[in-house]
Structure 1
Amino acid sequence: MKFLGVLTLTLSAITLTDAISPRQAKAKSQDQLYTKRSESYIKRDTLCSPSFPKEAVPPKANIWADLDTVETKDVFDLLKNTYPLTPFENATLFDNYLMWIELLRPNKTSATDYLDNNGAVPDRYARASIFFGSEEYTSEEYPNGYWQELQIGPLGKNGTNPEVSELDWLYTKSKVAYEVGYKDPIRFDAVTDFYEREFLSEDLLPVLIDLVGEEIKWFGQDNSTVDCWGTDPLQFNKTTGRVTNWATIFINYQDAEDITPTGLFLNTDITGRNSSEFFIAKWVYNNIAYNSTEDFIKAYESPDFVKLPTIDTSKLNSTDGFVYIGQKGETRELDEKLAPIVVEPQGRRWKVNEEQRYFTWMDWEFYVAWSRDVGLTLYDLKFKGERIAFEIGLQEAIAEYAGDDPFQAHTAYFDRSYGFGNEAFGLIPGFDCPYNAEMFNTTWHSQGSNNYQNNSYCAFEFVEDYGLARHAASEYTGVTKNPTFNLRSITTIGNYDYNFLYKFYLDGTFEVSVRAAGFIQGAYYNPDTGSPFGYRVNEVLSGSFHDHVLNFKADFDIAGTSNKVSTTALKPANFTYPWDPERVYSTKIKERSVVQNETYLNWADAGGVLLIESADQNNTWGNPKAYRAIYGGGDARRIAQNSVTIGKNAEWASHDLIFTKQKDSELQSSHVLNANDLEDPIVDISKYVDGENLDGEDLVCWFNLALHHLPNTNDIPNTIFSTAESGIVFTPFNYFDSEQSRDTLQQMYYEYETSEWDFNGVDVNPQCDIEIEPLAFHDVNYYGVTVGKDTTNIPSP
């Protein structure tokens, strides 16, 4: 698809036929004030030449930039020379192998000394995740080996050889036992081999084919139309040492297996690392449990066995099937025309230094970093030269399900374990991001190779569909446009596409939001027991109720690092005024209190207004400089509080917010290895909340965005971004002496009596043709990554 090379843009001149008097304006005789469309186009002999501004000049180097290929190779070679590592492509669960290498980002103390005090550039360190499974690394404590986090550095420092050490200062522990460790591809393949062996057995295969559908090709066969996978987390019994996992069987057409369930569930014992010793401990079908495969087959062969309805698979692999997400049906009137697009008639209004990933726009400036685990993170976020936050970024996302079957009841995904950075496949120009967006490429290191992805995130300016400020008075009308600067990334993890957006406004406000689309993880609908957990949304499909709770870190520095948290309740009150002492007035008041110590909070606790304040700086009017946090609505926490799927590994999800004192050793709220380690996770945020004083301290806000998703037929075939959304706004609150968008030229002022229009020198009627570059669809590599390239800081196309 190509867009036409030239777009004709014509804006008619604004005209006012008659001036109106202040009296008429005050009377709001709006029919006297109008604009008139020009009756003919103005002849244009020129072509607009939109310009790109010069590259932004960062005040400092991006100290959060990912490791370059030289650094990565040095670390990889050092680890190979230090430990007996097997190349990942040849490794088994009985070997040692490397999973990830990435930058260990500098601590805040060193970073701010460099940024603010001309201190030394922080030393560069890497962190590595290695599985140690060879015999010499097993023990009574770790009979099947363990995962370990290591620190390597300093890197690239003349006269200093990098050292490898345990990364125990950052975590509650540096080792995680295999039993509750990462489900890496090697472990996943072992379980898959086990499924194939069991399902293709002579006794079981005919049963499964009959219960699922005669037309399918079974799991393990060529071109299989069936899939089977176990849910997260694994169930580890510390007393017995057994590891079990609930799995289910799906029909898989058009990658829509999440909405094509079969009602077959199995509990597998996957203890140890030898898949030949795995076995199926239980089957569940039609709400009946069978304690062995033999019992299941025997029940199936009995005359009173009830067979559940199956999906008509003949309808799935076509454009008429309910799983098809492409265009179908009668077209709508005028829909063949291209939908409106964003253009920049006089050129781009923001700057970037691509090598340093440093952005500036309308008095905003910040650095961007990327990681395999969490994707985008913003650092050193400043407005009008003052730091608002040292760090803003995603930490973790859980998806916790409810349902009447064992698969849904045991599901709680920790999506950081799958990765937000490595699963951010190429954004589609003009669809995921507007026409005027610039795309940026990313890199990360895994399994001994450098990985590259193009179009991982985009940046663009956008004009919101409402003004930022407006007033029509008795003598004038003034309106301010509302341009915003936006950073977007979209990560597809399994069935869901997460759309992340960081949005910046002219007045110093910024917004963090997430939207979700994709396939729901549906359940087989049982009319007797399924209703409390979801609606029936297709033949045999139930939309399982579930929570998406996403945790973010916001390290605020409001007018410095001496901050506090206050809540202001807006409450009814009875009040007697000195000018009317005989009467009691029913009114309302504000009642402020300061949060004294580290704590968990819910939005209801804030009483109406939640502020992150400066502890020692006031504005001219004597109010503490502050930013207000405004959540989009509802609870931002998980609903179930004591489930079998989440323990101490997601304590942050039990409340809407957490406030802690900033510490260099309390860097993150979650970790890849938290997903299966419920009771003793490598990162336990509850240990951060130990009652330390917050008043006048450098503090961190760990806030949640949540989507409490009760699927309905509007989620079939896909959940849509417009309804599955959650966001938070951080806005100046007494931070400045007045609202800060008054200095923008993007506003108009009209005086009625003189009929004068003032556009501050901005040409609001550009009369020319605008050349639009064709969308670069060839730059999209939707098969994921290119391996083995020198890709660090590679320029975007």
Structure 2
Amino acid sequence: MVERRMSPVWKWVLVLFALASVILNIGLIVVHSGRTPRCSAQRGRALLAEHDARSGVFADLSPEEYLQVQKYMLRQKDLDISTRQTTKPSENFLFLIDLLLPPKAEVLAFLDGNGPQPERSATVVVFHGSTGFIKEYVVGPLPTPTYHRDVTREKYGMELPLTKRTVTVGEYVLMFQFFETEVFSKLQKVMAESFGVGPNRKLNAFEQMPRGVQSGDRKTWVSFFRDMSGMYIHPVERLLYNGVYFDSVEELNRAYDARTVERIVHKEAPDYGSLKPRPGVPLQVGPQQFPAGGKRFSVRGNHVVYLDWGFAFGLSALTGMRVFDVRFRGERILYELSVQEAMSVYGSVTPGMIVTKFLDSSIGIGRFAHELVRGVDCPYDATYVDSVRYIDTPRAVRFRNSICVFEHNMGQPLRRHFADFFHHSYGGMANSALVFRTITAIGNYDYMWDFIFYQSGSVEAKVHATGYISSSYMVHGSRRHGHQVAEKVLGNIHTHFINFKVDLDVAGETEAHPTATHGMRMPHAHGCHGGGLCHFSSTTRS
């Protein structure tokens, strides 16, 4: 065997060649890194509309403003307020801080005339457990508050008893402790044999609303669901057991042991509610849209401009998404367009669903606007905006990317015509529109809220419901109130009602009368003509 060795000269040649290659590549990277990509995301031309710093009159409270309001309220020793989430119902709890919108007349004087900038103030809600009442205060001026004023009777015409409050996080903690110590601990045999519940497997609670059937009630049925993906379609009803009502845990135990009630036999249910990708289904990136010439809209603070459009925006913890001072080609056509309420009414033979009427603003619609997922909730290249809220929490909380703004091709031309007679010609316009979106996940439902601004000067308010249905355990008579969706699972019949507030200022300010003052509520489709065409729709899927 002959061993061949590389010449030292060739070794040095290869080393020098490698060094030269590295240096050349580094140089190329440096040179090309400063060049703008061909498909630039930068704006290709100037915007038609301009940003207006006065939009700040509608801006949500900043983290610093939330902090200053909270500090001011805590300094009021006579109110004796706590911010702990575990505050007892018998104590005073600072539940909500939110922006108080200035009167419309003051805002218009500031925007259109020579009026001063309206004073900035906040609404504060305190649950006074010590006295048994709910109080709503106006706190101002911001950013450094110096006064608070009780406006409860002025606003509602009466004192609000504490029984009308929503359930807080602290109350839920006490409620779940009660279930563990007074219910489940005494039903271990029933829970294990009927539902497979044990030390390592729990049930999740889903409270029904309203909390009673007459004024002053503070009680409700609570449904329990298996701890699985999409728990809302894995129900267990108690102390209704397999269609039979029981007045106490002890009574259910006696009937179960004596076999005077038909036992439910636990059977593992498939995880049919999972949102994980199905095995064997190829994961591919779907079609994408991108602004070839750069984005044609801009977001600055709480103001958006898009081609001929301009508007301010906000996100209320209670009612959700809203836009103000909506202008098309410089003319105001909407003073306010906002979500007001999402209501769903259920029917069932089981007690929880019999009484269920969800009024989502009572617990907060905007409260549940969480971070949006790029490429799923909104396009990858959308502009994302954070929101900050203070509701049932010890401090203001920032929700990253909870609002998105993007331009979207609507899939059909805005208008087009092909002239086949006399003149062979074609004219058409792509139907691209600006979408302003947030998604609120309120319990089992995810509501996708869209305000859509078209190049034609029309506005569309749209809501799409997704998420999970709310179900109940199938007992005798259940089929009269829904459809079976899985083994022993009923999808309950229900109806959705969506309310928007629309304050139109087409060709001048809306005439001052009660309807205009409180805004027009439009649960169905309407049209409005003048400075722009408006279309409002609600789309739900159950």
| Common fold by TM > 0.5 | yes
Query: After TM superposition, which residue ranges in structure 1, 4 or more long, deviate above 3 angstroms?
Result: 53-56, 308-311, 728-732
**Could you list the per-position Cα deviations for residues 680-715 of structure 1 after superposition, in whole angstroms to 9, with x for gaps in the alignment?**
xxxxxxxxxxxxxxxxxxxx311126xxxxxxxxxx
Percent sequence identity over matched residues?
A: 26
Residue 343 (structure 1) aligned with residue 290 (structure 2)? yes
Residue 302 (structure 1) aligned with residue 258 (structure 2)? yes
Q: Where do residues 619-658 of structure 1 align in structure 2 (5 Å cutoff)? A: none
Three-state SS of the structure 1 residue aligned to 2:175 is: helix
2:458 to 509, 523, 526: 509
Partner residue of 1:232? 209
**Could you list the per-position Cα deviations for residues 572-593 of structure 1 after superposition, in whole angstroms to 9, with x for gaps in the alignment?**
xxxxxxxxxxxxxxxxxxxxxx
Letter in 2 for 1:227: N
Aligned 8 A contact 2:137 2:151 in 1: yes
Residue 330 (structure 1) aligned with residue 280 (structure 2)? yes
Structure 2 CA distance for aligned equivalents of residues 93 and 168 of structure 1 = 20
Partner residue of 1:74? 68
Aligned 8 A contact 1:229 1:248 in 2: yes
1:701 to 508, 520, 525: 520
**Could you list the per-position Cα deviations for residues 531-561 of structure 1 after superposition, in whole angstroms to 9, with x for gaps in the alignment?**
1211111111111111221211001112112
Aligned 8 A contact 2:328 2:531 in 1: no
CA RMSD of aligned residues (A): 2.6
- 1:242 and 1:288, CA in 2 relative to 1: closer, same or farther beyond 3 A? same
Three-state SS of the structure 2 residue aligned to 1:453 is: strand
Residue 246 (structure 1) aligned with residue 215 (structure 2)? no
Q: Where do residues 250-261 of structure 1 align in structure 2 (5 Å cutoff)? A: 250-254=225-229, 256-261=230-235
Q: CA deviation at 1:661?
A: 2.8
Q: CA deviation at 1:421?
A: 2.4
Aligned 8 A contact 1:127 1:151 in 2: yes
Letter in 2 for 1:152: V
Q: CA deviation at 1:69?
A: 3.4
2:478 to 530, 541, 550: 530
Structure 2 CA distance for aligned equivalents of residues 378 and 529 of structure 1 = 46
Aligned 8 A contact 2:85 2:170 in 1: no
Structure 2 CA distance for aligned equivalents of residues 54 and 417 of structure 1 = 43
Q: Where do residues 46-445 of structure 1 align in structure 2 (5 Å cutoff)? A: 47-52=38-43, 56-58=50-52, 60-82=54-76, 83-89=79-85, 91-134=87-130, 137=131, 145-156=132-143, 162-168=146-152, 171-173=155-157, 175-202=159-186, 204-213=187-196, 216-217=197-198, 221=199, 223-235=200-212, 243-254=218-229, 256-262=230-236, 264-266=237-239, 284-308=240-264, 310-313=266-269, 315=270, 321-331=271-281, 336-353=283-300, 355=301, 357-445=302-390
Q: CA deviation at 1:426?
A: 0.8
Aligned 8 A contact 1:261 1:524 in 2: yes
Whichever structure has more helix as a proportion of its residues is 2
- 1:554 and 1:452, CA in 2 relative to 1: closer, same or farther beyond 3 A? same
Q: Where do residues 731-746 of structure 1 align in structure 2 (5 Å cutoff)? A: 732=529
- 1:529 and 1:119, CA in 2 relative to 1: closer, same or farther beyond 3 A? same
Three-state SS of the structure 2 residue aligned to 1:201 is: helix
Provide TM-score, normalisation by structure 1: 0.58
Aligned 8 A contact 1:54 1:351 in 2: no
Structure 2 CA distance for aligned equivalents of residues 132 and 440 of structure 1 = 35
**Could you list the per-position Cα deviations for residues 6-64 of structure 1 after superposition, in whole angstroms to 9, with x for gaps in the alignment?**
xxxxxxxxxxxxxxxxxxxxxxxxxxxxxxxxxxxxxxx98343423679521624201
Three-state SS of the structure 2 residue aligned to 1:486 is: strand
Structure 2 CA distance for aligned equivalents of residues 731 and 425 of structure 1 = 33
Residue 540 (structure 1) aligned with residue 488 (structure 2)? yes
Structure 2 CA distance for aligned equivalents of residues 150 and 480 of structure 1 = 51
Residue 479 (structure 1) aligned with residue 428 (structure 2)? yes
Structure 2 CA distance for aligned equivalents of residues 562 and 69 of structure 1 = 34
Letter in 1 for 2:508: G
Structure 2 CA distance for aligned equivalents of residues 156 and 248 of structure 1 = 44
Aligned 8 A contact 2:193 2:265 in 1: no
Partner residue of 2:24? none
Aligned 8 A contact 1:96 1:132 in 2: yes
- 1:237 and 1:662, CA in 2 relative to 1: closer, same or farther beyond 3 A? closer
Aligned 8 A contact 2:510 2:516 in 1: no
Aligned 8 A contact 1:309 1:540 in 2: no
Residue 662 (structure 1) aligned with residue 516 (structure 2)? yes
Aligned 8 A contact 1:149 1:175 in 2: no
- 1:372 and 1:162, CA in 2 relative to 1: closer, same or farther beyond 3 A? same
Aligned 8 A contact 2:84 2:93 in 1: yes
Gaps spanning 5+ residues in structure 2: where?
A: 1-35, 535-542
Structure 2 CA distance for aligned equivalents of residues 504 and 247 of structure 1 = 42
Q: CA deviation at 1:298?
A: 2.2
Residue 463 (structure 1) aligned with residue 409 (structure 2)? yes
Q: Where do residues 561-600 of structure 1 align in structure 2 (5 Å cutoff)? A: 561-562=509-510
- 1:66 and 1:163, CA in 2 relative to 1: closer, same or farther beyond 3 A? same
Structure 2 CA distance for aligned equivalents of residues 46 and 459 of structure 1 = 23
Partner residue of 2:540? none
Gaps spanning 5+ residues in structure 1: where?
A: 1-44, 138-144, 267-283, 316-320, 565-597, 599-659, 667-699, 706-727, 741-797
**Could you list the per-position Cα deviations for residues 111-162 of structure 1 after superposition, in whole angstroms to 9, with x for gaps in the alignment?**
111111121100111110111123xx2xxxxxxx2221111122347xxx62
Three-state SS of the structure 2 residue aligned to 1:243 is: coil
- RCO comparison, higher one (Cα < 8 Å, 6+): 1
Partner residue of 1:769? none
2:446 to 497, 515, 534: 497
**Could you list the per-position Cα deviations for residues 601-658 of structure 1 after superposition, in whole angstroms to 9, with x for gaps in the alignment?**
xxxxxxxxxxxxxxxxxxxxxxxxxxxxxxxxxxxxxxxxxxxxxxxxxxxxxxxxxx
Q: Where do residues 692-771 of structure 1 align in structure 2 (5 Å cutoff)? A: 700-704=519-523, 728=525, 730=527, 732=529
Letter in 2 for 1:420: I
Three-state SS of the structure 1 residue aligned to 2:335 is: strand
Provide TM-score, normalisation by structure 2: 0.84
Structure 2 CA distance for aligned equivalents of residues 229 and 69 of structure 1 = 32
Structure 2 CA distance for aligned equivalents of residues 210 and 310 of structure 1 = 6
**Could you list the per-position Cα deviations for residues 279-303 of structure 1 after superposition, in whole angstroms to 9, with x for gaps in the alignment?**
xxxxx22332223333322222224
Number of equivalent positions: 490
**Could you list the per-position Cα deviations for residues 348-388 of structure 1 after superposition, in whole angstroms to 9, with x for gaps in the alignment?**
111222x2x11111211110112212232100011122111
Letter in 2 for 1:291: D
Three-state SS of the structure 2 residue aligned to 1:67 is: coil
